[in-house]
Structure 1
Amino acid sequence: MTVHITDLNGMAYVSVAQIAQNMVTKIATNELNFDPFTIYFYAWKDEPVDVISARFDGIIAALQDGDTVVIQSPSWNTIEWDQKFIDRISIYRNIKKVIFVEDIPPLMFESNEYMLPQYIDYYNKADVLILASRKLYDYLRVHGLKQKKVVIQHMWDHISQVNPYIIPKNKKVINFAGDPKKFDFVKDWSSENVKLNVYSEPLEGVNNPNITFTGWQDDPVLINSLRKAGGFGLVWSEEPYWSKYMKMNASYKLSTYLAAGIPLIVNSDTPEKDTIVNKKLGIIADSIDEAVDKVEHMSDMRYNEMKDNIGEFAKLIRGGYFTKRALIEAVFKAQYE
């Protein structure tokens, strides 16, 4: 039996979706001996049946009866494309299909909400699902997902190397790796005692001495920039529809901060909140004002305790262990249970 895994290509260099999928594939192929099926991201609404059939045959040329296929979802082509792809795989005998649900567009964007039944139908074709959280599984069940063998991802990995000579310190700074155009708190930042570092291009019209825009940074640079900045890493949402999704989904940003070795700021609805609290990996805040206040009054002793705990916990994330565990468990559930 060969285990295959799909891999996304063709998106922008800075696409987090592609970066995450490529990382999963690298872990799967380099450490678990999976075979990659490369899927190209493209737009061809009226692609002829014979052309898409030939495309699928090329992608799955190495597939044989009895193999297992891990599909990283979505492909970021259309849901119709994804449906046709899994149907093509299903032509082979005794194929076990695992869908690694990394994002769900109908839950990410309110304009796509109407497509959720199509995605549920797609997930129902899998033998095993890898999902971010138990909350997400329960939500999908309410909306039509059949009872499934499920593996919970818990957290993203973030394969990286850190400079051990850069030690994060208890600086009064909050780091935010996100698009500032989507967040009012960046434009409205008023704290003089706690600075804000934003890892993106400058926001037009914002000239605040308490905000530093670093520009977009490639991953090895970003990880050590965060270490050097110290302080905390913020995982946040203000848009209600996206906030609902974040209560169920795993945040790649969260794992980026942990890989860098800095404590987190998350809200009380974060799926892995209990892990963060119990293992002392960060602080809980349900408003920006609360986050600023806690950072401002953070003692060196408490900060260093969190930093040291993260130093141990981050070995899992930097080493790809969440991904390896999820993939191995999914294959066992598909082939053994």
Structure 2
Amino acid sequence: MTNWITRLNATNYNQQYDAIQIVSKNVAHSAKQLGFQELNITGYPNISNNADRRHHIREAVLGVVQPGDLVVVQFPMWTHLNFQSEFFDTIKGIESVRMVALIHDIPTWMFTKGEEEYDRENDFWLNQLKKFDLLIVANEKGAHKLQEDGVNVPMIQMQFWDYFYAGPRKEKQFKKKLYYVGGRDIIDTTYRAATPLYIYDRQVEKKVLESGSITWLGRRPSDEIVSVLDGGFGVVVTENLVEKSNMNFVYYNQFNNPTKLSMYLAAGLPVIVSSKTYHARLVKEYGIGLVVDDLNEIDTIFSSMTDQDYQKMIDNVRFWQEAVSEGFFIKRALLAMFRTLELGFRDDLLNK
């Protein structure tokens, strides 16, 4: 029996810095350390209305999968919908093959503002997830949301993405400053605090920079950012920055595992999350950052924070830094998958 993991490869040079590519690469890296073999895919062009081409690609990618194998699919595949659906059906059609979804995102939730905007029973993505034997989900909050949406497949949680990093890091000092690493153009802001906010992003509108406290540092490779952060806090998600996107990330980020959260932790930086997110409880419980819904409160928060307070957070982050940098969370989830599927243990499964 062979264990397989899909990996989404970039189709152009700039895509290698996208969160999707970083996470897909890191997941595959962790899986390979556990003995998995890769099934390499990409964003195939010209396949939407070409059934023969889709068939040949599926044959080329899945021809190595044998009866009794295990296939972990990084979901979604970010290619044409008909190709994804047929890809899953082809895997399920191989005798005794078990198929597991390791979920990056739920597009249904990303592009809507609430449950009233989609049909749970007929939604494409929710019905695709029902095809799998097991789901490795972002976290418990996301799992319960899936269960409410009628997806009753057994689920195991990851809690955090990993961010492999073995490069240099700077010592962290208590500095009253914030960092935000984004992937979408920032078109507006309600941030008016005096604390400097440094933004790594491909584009920031001029009116955003007129706030006086915001500095745009451009887009940089994520490893480069990790190597230069020397203090302050990493902002994971905030309603104070308005991003150009047709995705509703303010709503969606309460259910997912943001890539930037793991990137900040890999850098050894305390984080700022909102109270709506799954990670708010962990940030509080383990003292690895702050829970702040409105960044305009940060001046007041920093006014009562001491060097000792900050250093304690830095010390608390060290374990998490080591864990995400070495692939702890993905490997733990995959091992929990083996315990469930191979040995019949149920203690890792999330219940309603």
The alignment's TM-score, normalised by the length of structure 1, stands at: 0.91
1:295 is matched with 302
CA–CA distance in 2 between the matches of 1:323 and 1:291?
33
- 2:102 is matched by which residue type in structure 1? F
How far apart are 1:208 and its partner, in Å? Answer: 5.3
For residues 19-56 of structure 1, give each alpha carbon's deviation from its aligned partner in whole angstroms, at most 9, with x where no partner exists.
11111111211x11101001111343544322211110
CA–CA distance in 2 between the matches of 1:183 and 1:138?
33
- When residues 237 and 43 of structure 1 are mapped into structure 2, their CA distance, relative to the original with a 3 A threshold, is farther
1:121 is matched with 127
1:144 is matched with 150
Residues 193 and 298, structure 2, Cα contact 8 Å, conserved in 1: no
Q: Does 1:176 find its partner at 2:183?
A: no
- What is the aligned residue count? 329
1:306 is matched with 313
2:271 is matched with 264
How far apart are 1:204 and its partner, in Å? Answer: 3.5
SS for the counterpart of 1:172 is strand
CA–CA distance in 1 between the matches of 2:227 and 2:323?
18
How far apart are 1:140 and its partner, in Å? Answer: 1.5
How far apart are 1:91 and its partner, in Å? Answer: 1.6
- 2:223 is matched by which residue type in structure 1? P
How far apart are 1:184 and its partner, in Å? Answer: 3.2
Q: Name which of 65, 73, 76 aligns with 2:75.
A: 73
Output the aligned Cα RMSD: 2.2
Q: Unpaired segments of 5 or more residues in structure 2?
A: 345-352
CA–CA distance in 2 between the matches of 1:292 and 1:161?
33
Residues 195 and 211, structure 1, Cα contact 8 Å, conserved in 2: yes
**How many percent of aligned residue pairs carry the same amino acid?**
28
Residues 99 and 132, structure 2, Cα contact 8 Å, conserved in 1: yes
The alignment's TM-score, normalised by the length of structure 2, stands at: 0.87
CA–CA distance in 1 between the matches of 2:49 and 2:343?
38
- 1:8 is matched by which residue type in structure 2? L
CA–CA distance in 2 between the matches of 1:261 and 1:246?
22
SS for the counterpart of 1:283 is strand
For residues 106-154 of structure 1, give each alpha carbon's deviation from its aligned partner in whole angstroms, at most 9, with x where no partner exists.
21123996486211111111111000122212211222212x2211010
- 2:145 is matched by which residue type in structure 1? Y
For residues 140-198 of structure 1, give each alpha carbon's deviation from its aligned partner in whole angstroms, at most 9, with x where no partner exists.
1222212x22110100111002425x21111010111115734633xx44333x11111
Q: Does 1:5 find its partner at 2:5?
A: yes
Residues 96 and 127, structure 1, Cα contact 8 Å, conserved in 2: yes
CA–CA distance in 1 between the matches of 2:307 and 2:167?
22
CA–CA distance in 2 between the matches of 1:296 and 1:162?
33
CA–CA distance in 1 between the matches of 2:106 and 2:136?
12
CA–CA distance in 1 between the matches of 2:72 and 2:184?
34
Q: Unpaired segments of 5 or more residues in structure 1?
A: none
- 1:96 is matched by which residue type in structure 2? R
